[in-house]
Amino acid sequence: MADNVAIEHAVKLLRQGRLVAFPTETVYGLGADASNPEAVRRIFAAKGRPVDHPLIVHIPNIASLNDWAQTVPESAQKLVARFWPGPLAIILNKKPQVPLEVTGGQQTVGLRMPDHPVALRLLEAFGGGIAAPSANRFCRISPTLASHVAEELGDAVDLILDGGACPVGVESTIVDLSGDRPALLRPGQISRSEIEAVLQTELLTFAPASVRTSGMMEVHYAPVTTAVLCPSERLLEANRQLTAQNKKIGIMAYRQWPENLNTAFICMPGHADDYAQALYASLRKLDGRQLDIILVEQPPDTEAWRAINDRLGKATIDYREFFTLI
Protein backbone atom coordinates (compact mmCIF):
# COMPACT_ATOMS: atom_id res chain seq x y z
CA MET A 1 0.00 0.00 0.00
CA ALA A 2 1.33 3.45 -0.96
CA ASP A 3 2.95 5.17 2.07
CA ASN A 4 3.46 8.88 2.81
CA VAL A 5 6.79 8.97 0.99
CA ALA A 6 5.13 7.60 -2.14
CA ILE A 7 2.28 10.12 -1.86
CA GLU A 8 4.75 13.01 -1.50
CA HIS A 9 6.68 11.79 -4.51
CA ALA A 10 3.45 11.54 -6.48
CA VAL A 11 2.48 15.10 -5.57
CA LYS A 12 5.89 16.36 -6.68
CA LEU A 13 5.53 14.60 -10.03
CA LEU A 14 1.99 15.95 -10.56
CA ARG A 15 3.22 19.49 -9.87
CA GLN A 16 5.89 18.94 -12.55
CA GLY A 17 3.21 17.99 -15.06
CA ARG A 18 4.01 14.26 -14.99
CA LEU A 19 1.65 11.27 -14.93
CA VAL A 20 0.77 9.29 -11.80
CA ALA A 21 -1.44 6.21 -11.83
CA PHE A 22 -3.45 5.72 -8.64
CA PRO A 23 -6.09 3.34 -7.29
CA THR A 24 -9.73 4.32 -6.88
CA GLU A 25 -12.59 2.17 -5.63
CA THR A 26 -13.64 1.51 -9.26
CA VAL A 27 -10.50 1.07 -11.40
CA TYR A 28 -6.98 2.55 -11.51
CA GLY A 29 -6.79 6.07 -12.94
CA LEU A 30 -4.03 7.70 -14.99
CA GLY A 31 -3.72 11.08 -13.31
CA ALA A 32 -2.37 14.49 -14.26
CA ASP A 33 -2.77 18.01 -12.86
CA ALA A 34 -6.16 19.02 -14.28
CA SER A 35 -5.21 22.70 -14.35
CA ASN A 36 -2.13 22.04 -16.54
CA PRO A 37 -3.06 21.59 -20.24
CA GLU A 38 0.35 20.20 -21.17
CA ALA A 39 0.16 17.56 -18.44
CA VAL A 40 -3.35 16.63 -19.56
CA ARG A 41 -2.17 16.21 -23.17
CA ARG A 42 0.30 13.60 -21.89
CA ILE A 43 -2.62 11.47 -20.69
CA PHE A 44 -4.04 11.31 -24.22
CA ALA A 45 -0.65 10.44 -25.67
CA ALA A 46 -0.03 7.68 -23.10
CA LYS A 47 -3.45 6.09 -23.64
CA GLY A 48 -3.64 6.59 -27.40
CA ARG A 49 -7.00 8.23 -26.74
CA PRO A 50 -8.58 10.75 -29.19
CA VAL A 51 -8.26 14.27 -27.76
CA ASP A 52 -11.99 15.03 -28.01
CA HIS A 53 -12.87 12.40 -25.38
CA PRO A 54 -13.33 14.29 -22.10
CA LEU A 55 -11.70 13.30 -18.80
CA ILE A 56 -13.14 13.14 -15.29
CA VAL A 57 -11.60 15.55 -12.77
CA HIS A 58 -11.10 13.91 -9.38
CA ILE A 59 -11.51 16.22 -6.40
CA PRO A 60 -10.72 15.82 -2.68
CA ASN A 61 -14.04 17.00 -1.26
CA ILE A 62 -17.52 18.28 -2.09
CA ALA A 63 -16.61 21.93 -1.56
CA SER A 64 -14.09 21.71 -4.44
CA LEU A 65 -17.01 21.35 -6.88
CA ASN A 66 -17.10 25.16 -6.91
CA ASP A 67 -13.55 25.34 -8.31
CA TRP A 68 -14.62 23.51 -11.47
CA ALA A 69 -18.38 23.90 -11.96
CA GLN A 70 -19.96 27.17 -13.01
CA THR A 71 -22.96 26.42 -10.83
CA VAL A 72 -23.82 23.44 -8.66
CA PRO A 73 -27.52 22.74 -9.18
CA GLU A 74 -29.67 21.31 -6.42
CA SER A 75 -29.75 17.95 -8.21
CA ALA A 76 -25.94 17.76 -7.94
CA GLN A 77 -25.97 18.77 -4.30
CA LYS A 78 -28.46 16.01 -3.51
CA LEU A 79 -26.54 13.34 -5.39
CA VAL A 80 -23.13 14.13 -3.92
CA ALA A 81 -24.55 14.44 -0.40
CA ARG A 82 -25.86 10.90 -0.80
CA PHE A 83 -23.14 9.18 -2.87
CA TRP A 84 -19.77 10.97 -2.35
CA PRO A 85 -17.17 9.86 -1.79
CA GLY A 86 -18.18 7.06 -4.12
CA PRO A 87 -18.45 5.59 -7.61
CA LEU A 88 -20.51 8.40 -9.14
CA ALA A 89 -19.28 11.01 -11.64
CA ILE A 90 -21.42 14.03 -12.46
CA ILE A 91 -21.28 16.27 -15.51
CA LEU A 92 -21.79 19.99 -14.86
CA ASN A 93 -21.26 23.20 -16.82
CA LYS A 94 -17.62 24.16 -16.45
CA LYS A 95 -16.02 27.31 -15.12
CA PRO A 96 -14.31 29.33 -17.88
CA GLN A 97 -10.82 28.58 -16.52
CA VAL A 98 -11.20 24.77 -16.79
CA PRO A 99 -8.89 23.81 -19.67
CA LEU A 100 -10.63 22.60 -22.84
CA GLU A 101 -7.97 19.86 -22.99
CA VAL A 102 -9.69 18.29 -19.95
CA THR A 103 -13.21 18.54 -21.32
CA GLY A 104 -12.50 17.44 -24.88
CA GLY A 105 -13.45 20.90 -26.11
CA GLN A 106 -16.85 20.88 -24.37
CA GLN A 107 -18.34 23.45 -22.03
CA THR A 108 -19.10 20.76 -19.45
CA VAL A 109 -16.82 18.99 -16.98
CA GLY A 110 -16.98 15.54 -15.36
CA LEU A 111 -16.34 15.51 -11.59
CA ARG A 112 -15.92 12.79 -9.03
CA MET A 113 -14.74 12.33 -5.43
CA PRO A 114 -13.44 8.76 -5.25
CA ASP A 115 -13.88 6.56 -2.19
CA HIS A 116 -10.40 5.10 -1.82
CA PRO A 117 -7.91 5.95 0.95
CA VAL A 118 -4.92 6.25 -1.41
CA ALA A 119 -6.82 8.40 -3.93
CA LEU A 120 -8.15 10.66 -1.17
CA ARG A 121 -4.72 11.04 0.47
CA LEU A 122 -3.22 11.90 -2.90
CA LEU A 123 -5.96 14.43 -3.69
CA GLU A 124 -5.70 16.08 -0.28
CA ALA A 125 -1.91 16.30 -0.44
CA PHE A 126 -2.04 17.65 -4.00
CA GLY A 127 -4.73 20.13 -3.07
CA GLY A 128 -6.22 20.41 -6.56
CA GLY A 129 -8.08 18.48 -9.21
CA ILE A 130 -6.55 15.41 -10.84
CA ALA A 131 -7.79 14.56 -14.34
CA ALA A 132 -7.80 10.80 -14.69
CA PRO A 133 -9.25 8.34 -17.17
CA SER A 134 -8.90 4.63 -16.53
CA ALA A 135 -5.20 3.71 -16.77
CA ASN A 136 -5.47 1.44 -19.82
CA ARG A 137 -4.74 1.82 -23.53
CA PHE A 138 -7.72 3.26 -25.42
CA CYS A 139 -10.58 0.73 -25.82
CA ARG A 140 -8.82 -1.93 -23.76
CA ILE A 141 -9.69 -3.55 -20.44
CA SER A 142 -9.57 -1.18 -17.45
CA PRO A 143 -6.96 -2.03 -14.78
CA THR A 144 -8.04 -3.18 -11.33
CA LEU A 145 -4.52 -4.00 -10.04
CA ALA A 146 -1.31 -1.95 -10.07
CA SER A 147 0.33 -4.69 -12.16
CA HIS A 148 -2.35 -4.24 -14.86
CA VAL A 149 -1.35 -0.57 -15.17
CA ALA A 150 2.30 -1.51 -15.64
CA GLU A 151 1.30 -4.05 -18.33
CA GLU A 152 -0.88 -1.50 -20.13
CA LEU A 153 1.25 1.62 -19.98
CA GLY A 154 4.83 0.64 -19.07
CA ASP A 155 7.19 3.62 -19.18
CA ALA A 156 4.45 6.01 -20.34
CA VAL A 157 3.48 6.47 -16.68
CA ASP A 158 5.96 8.13 -14.27
CA LEU A 159 4.72 6.48 -11.06
CA ILE A 160 2.14 3.86 -10.10
CA LEU A 161 0.71 4.05 -6.58
CA ASP A 162 -0.24 0.56 -5.45
CA GLY A 163 -3.50 0.26 -3.53
CA GLY A 164 -4.15 -3.43 -4.13
CA ALA A 165 -7.28 -4.65 -5.92
CA CYS A 166 -10.01 -2.08 -6.64
CA PRO A 167 -13.06 -3.10 -4.61
CA VAL A 168 -15.83 -2.10 -7.06
CA GLY A 169 -14.14 -3.22 -10.27
CA VAL A 170 -16.22 -1.38 -12.88
CA GLU A 171 -16.09 2.34 -13.70
CA SER A 172 -18.27 4.92 -11.99
CA THR A 173 -21.89 5.65 -12.86
CA ILE A 174 -21.99 8.89 -14.90
CA VAL A 175 -24.95 11.27 -14.61
CA ASP A 176 -25.16 14.36 -16.81
CA LEU A 177 -26.66 17.27 -14.85
CA SER A 178 -25.62 20.01 -17.29
CA GLY A 179 -28.89 20.14 -19.22
CA ASP A 180 -32.56 20.63 -18.46
CA ARG A 181 -33.06 17.03 -17.45
CA PRO A 182 -30.64 14.56 -15.84
CA ALA A 183 -29.35 11.73 -18.02
CA LEU A 184 -27.55 8.48 -17.30
CA LEU A 185 -24.44 8.32 -19.53
CA ARG A 186 -22.82 5.18 -18.09
CA PRO A 187 -24.25 2.57 -15.70
CA GLY A 188 -22.15 1.62 -12.68
CA GLN A 189 -22.47 0.15 -9.22
CA ILE A 190 -24.78 2.98 -8.14
CA SER A 191 -27.92 2.04 -10.03
CA ARG A 192 -30.38 4.10 -12.09
CA SER A 193 -33.14 3.51 -9.53
CA GLU A 194 -30.96 4.63 -6.60
CA ILE A 195 -30.25 7.90 -8.45
CA GLU A 196 -33.86 8.34 -9.51
CA ALA A 197 -34.95 7.84 -5.91
CA VAL A 198 -32.70 10.69 -4.75
CA LEU A 199 -33.61 13.04 -7.62
CA GLN A 200 -37.31 12.10 -7.57
CA THR A 201 -37.32 12.07 -11.37
CA GLU A 202 -36.64 9.70 -14.26
CA LEU A 203 -33.21 9.74 -15.89
CA LEU A 204 -32.97 10.15 -19.65
CA THR A 205 -30.76 7.71 -21.56
CA PHE A 206 -28.55 9.07 -24.31
CA ALA A 207 -28.26 7.13 -27.55
CA PRO A 208 -24.69 6.01 -28.37
CA ALA A 209 -24.99 7.98 -31.65
CA SER A 210 -23.58 11.11 -30.06
CA VAL A 211 -20.30 9.76 -28.73
CA ARG A 212 -19.34 12.27 -26.10
CA THR A 213 -18.54 9.56 -23.62
CA SER A 214 -16.01 7.03 -24.82
CA GLY A 215 -17.65 4.45 -22.54
CA MET A 216 -20.71 4.78 -24.78
CA MET A 217 -18.91 3.49 -27.83
CA GLU A 218 -19.81 0.06 -29.15
CA VAL A 219 -16.35 -1.49 -28.77
CA HIS A 220 -14.68 -0.73 -25.47
CA TYR A 221 -13.22 -2.47 -22.45
CA ALA A 222 -12.26 -5.22 -24.88
CA PRO A 223 -9.79 -8.10 -24.71
CA VAL A 224 -7.58 -8.79 -27.75
CA THR A 225 -8.91 -12.35 -28.00
CA THR A 226 -12.35 -12.62 -29.60
CA ALA A 227 -14.86 -12.87 -26.77
CA VAL A 228 -18.35 -14.19 -27.38
CA LEU A 229 -21.33 -13.57 -25.12
CA CYS A 230 -23.23 -16.81 -24.88
CA PRO A 231 -26.51 -17.71 -23.11
CA SER A 232 -26.12 -20.49 -20.51
CA GLU A 233 -28.12 -23.00 -22.56
CA ARG A 234 -25.74 -22.56 -25.52
CA LEU A 235 -22.48 -22.68 -23.63
CA LEU A 236 -21.75 -26.40 -23.70
CA GLU A 237 -22.82 -26.77 -27.32
CA ALA A 238 -20.68 -23.82 -28.38
CA ASN A 239 -17.72 -25.25 -26.48
CA ARG A 240 -18.19 -28.67 -28.12
CA GLN A 241 -18.49 -27.21 -31.61
CA LEU A 242 -15.39 -25.03 -31.26
CA THR A 243 -13.33 -27.77 -29.61
CA ALA A 244 -14.19 -30.04 -32.56
CA GLN A 245 -12.57 -27.39 -34.77
CA ASN A 246 -9.41 -27.57 -32.63
CA LYS A 247 -9.96 -24.10 -31.26
CA LYS A 248 -8.43 -23.21 -27.94
CA ILE A 249 -11.32 -22.06 -25.77
CA GLY A 250 -11.55 -20.09 -22.56
CA ILE A 251 -14.77 -19.95 -20.59
CA MET A 252 -15.88 -17.32 -18.11
CA ALA A 253 -19.01 -18.68 -16.47
CA TYR A 254 -20.95 -17.49 -13.45
CA ARG A 255 -22.48 -20.82 -12.53
CA GLN A 256 -21.01 -24.19 -11.72
CA TRP A 257 -20.27 -26.27 -14.81
CA PRO A 258 -18.87 -29.78 -15.20
CA GLU A 259 -15.23 -29.78 -14.09
CA ASN A 260 -14.12 -31.83 -17.09
CA LEU A 261 -14.57 -29.06 -19.65
CA ASN A 262 -11.35 -29.24 -21.60
CA THR A 263 -10.72 -25.51 -21.44
CA ALA A 264 -9.28 -22.57 -19.56
CA PHE A 265 -12.17 -22.12 -17.19
CA ILE A 266 -12.97 -19.32 -14.76
CA CYS A 267 -15.94 -19.72 -12.47
CA MET A 268 -17.13 -16.21 -11.62
CA PRO A 269 -18.98 -15.27 -8.44
CA GLY A 270 -22.76 -15.57 -8.56
CA HIS A 271 -23.33 -12.26 -6.79
CA ALA A 272 -23.26 -9.16 -9.03
CA ASP A 273 -20.98 -6.99 -6.83
CA ASP A 274 -18.43 -9.80 -6.50
CA TYR A 275 -18.67 -10.58 -10.21
CA ALA A 276 -18.02 -6.91 -11.06
CA GLN A 277 -14.99 -6.85 -8.79
CA ALA A 278 -13.48 -9.88 -10.58
CA LEU A 279 -14.65 -9.03 -14.13
CA TYR A 280 -11.68 -7.18 -15.66
CA ALA A 281 -8.97 -9.22 -13.94
CA SER A 282 -10.64 -12.43 -15.20
CA LEU A 283 -10.99 -11.19 -18.77
CA ARG A 284 -7.38 -10.05 -18.66
CA LYS A 285 -6.22 -13.44 -17.33
CA LEU A 286 -7.97 -15.34 -20.14
CA ASP A 287 -6.77 -12.78 -22.68
CA GLY A 288 -3.18 -13.57 -21.68
CA ARG A 289 -3.50 -17.29 -22.36
CA GLN A 290 -3.23 -17.28 -26.16
CA LEU A 291 -6.68 -18.67 -26.70
CA ASP A 292 -8.63 -18.52 -29.94
CA ILE A 293 -11.95 -17.65 -28.31
CA ILE A 294 -13.30 -16.68 -24.92
CA LEU A 295 -16.89 -17.77 -24.26
CA VAL A 296 -18.56 -15.59 -21.66
CA GLU A 297 -21.71 -16.96 -20.06
CA GLN A 298 -24.37 -14.28 -20.24
CA PRO A 299 -25.31 -13.10 -16.71
CA PRO A 300 -28.92 -12.43 -15.64
CA ASP A 301 -30.70 -9.46 -17.19
CA THR A 302 -31.62 -7.65 -13.96
CA GLU A 303 -30.77 -4.21 -12.59
CA ALA A 304 -28.07 -5.50 -10.25
CA TRP A 305 -26.19 -6.77 -13.32
CA ARG A 306 -26.73 -3.64 -15.50
CA ALA A 307 -23.17 -2.26 -15.36
CA ILE A 308 -21.70 -5.75 -15.90
CA ASN A 309 -23.94 -6.42 -18.91
CA ASP A 310 -23.07 -2.99 -20.31
CA ARG A 311 -19.32 -3.70 -20.11
CA LEU A 312 -19.66 -7.28 -21.37
CA GLY A 313 -21.78 -6.02 -24.26
CA LYS A 314 -18.86 -3.82 -25.31
CA ALA A 315 -16.13 -6.38 -24.67
CA THR A 316 -17.78 -9.21 -26.62
CA ILE A 317 -19.69 -10.08 -29.77
CA ASP A 318 -23.08 -11.75 -29.67
CA TYR A 319 -23.03 -15.55 -30.10
CA ARG A 320 -25.56 -15.40 -32.97
CA GLU A 321 -23.30 -13.05 -34.88
CA PHE A 322 -20.28 -15.21 -34.09
CA PHE A 323 -21.81 -18.52 -35.15
CA THR A 324 -22.92 -17.15 -38.49
CA LEU A 325 -19.28 -16.21 -39.12
CA ILE A 326 -17.72 -19.67 -38.49
CA separation for the pair 120, 212 (Å, rounded): 27
Beta-carbon neighbour count of residue 95 at 10 Å? 13
Interaction residues for ligand TXA, span 249-308 (CB under 6 A):
none
DSSP track, 132-195? --BSSSTTBPPPSSHHHHHHHHGGGSSEE----S-SS-SPPEEEE-SSSS-EEEE--SS-HHHH
Residue closer to ligand TXA by CB (options 71, 262) is 71
* Binding characters for ligand TXA, 137-166, by CB under 6 A (x = yes): ------------------------------
Stretch touching ligand TXA by CB under 6 A, among 50-58, 146-154, 253-261, 279-287: 50-58
Residue closer to ligand TXA by CB (options 280, 322) is 280
Residues linked to residue 30 through DSSP beta bridges, in sequence order: 21
**Does 26 engage in binding with ligand TXA (CB under 6 A)?**
yes
By CB atoms closer than 10 A (0-12, 13-18, 19+), residue 157 is buried
Q: Which of 42, 53, 140, 311 binds ligand TXA (CB under 6 A)?
A: 53
Residue closer to ligand TXA by CB (options 133, 250) is 133
Stretch touching ligand TXA by CB under 6 A, among 66-74, 78-86, 103-111, 152-160: 103-111
By CB atoms closer than 10 A (0-12, 13-18, 19+), residue 62 is middle
**How many residues of this chain bind ligand TXA (CB under 6 A)?**
29
Q: Which residues contact 323 (CB under 8 A, 6 or more apart)?
A: 238, 241
Stretch touching ligand TXA by CB under 6 A, among 52-60, 250-258, 281-289, 316-324: 52-60
Least separation in angstroms between CB 227 and Mg ion: 17
Contact 318, 229 (CB under 8 A): yes
Least separation in angstroms between CB 215 and Mg ion: 6
* Binding characters for ligand TXA, 212-231, by CB under 6 A (x = yes): xxxx----------------
Least separation in angstroms between CB 225 and ligand TXA: 21
Beta-carbon neighbour count of residue 273 at 10 Å? 14
Residues linked to residue 308 through DSSP beta bridges, in sequence order: none
Residue closer to Mg ion by CB (options 176, 297) is 176
Contact 95, 70 (CB under 8 A): yes
CA separation for the pair 146, 263 (Å, rounded): 28
Least separation in angstroms between CB 181 and ligand TXA: 15
Interaction residues for Mg ion, span 111-140 (CB under 5 A):
134
**How many residues of this chain bind Mg ion (CB under 5 A)?**
1
26 binds, among Mg ion, ligand TXA, none (CB under 5 to 8 A by kind): ligand TXA
Rg (the chain; Cα; Å): 20
Q: Which residues contact 317 (CB under 8 A, 6 or more apart)?
A: 226, 227, 228, 229
**Does 42 engage in binding with ligand TXA (CB under 6 A)?**
no
Least separation in angstroms between CB 103 and ligand TXA: 5
By CB atoms closer than 10 A (0-12, 13-18, 19+), residue 209 is exposed
Cα–Cα–Cα angle for 245, 248, 251, rounded to 5 degrees: 115
144 binds, among Mg ion, ligand TXA, none (CB under 5 to 8 A by kind): none
Positions touching ligand TXA (CB under 6 A) are 24, 26-27, 29, 53-56, 87, 89, 91, 103, 106, 108-110, 112, 114, 132-134, 171-172, 174, 185, 212-215
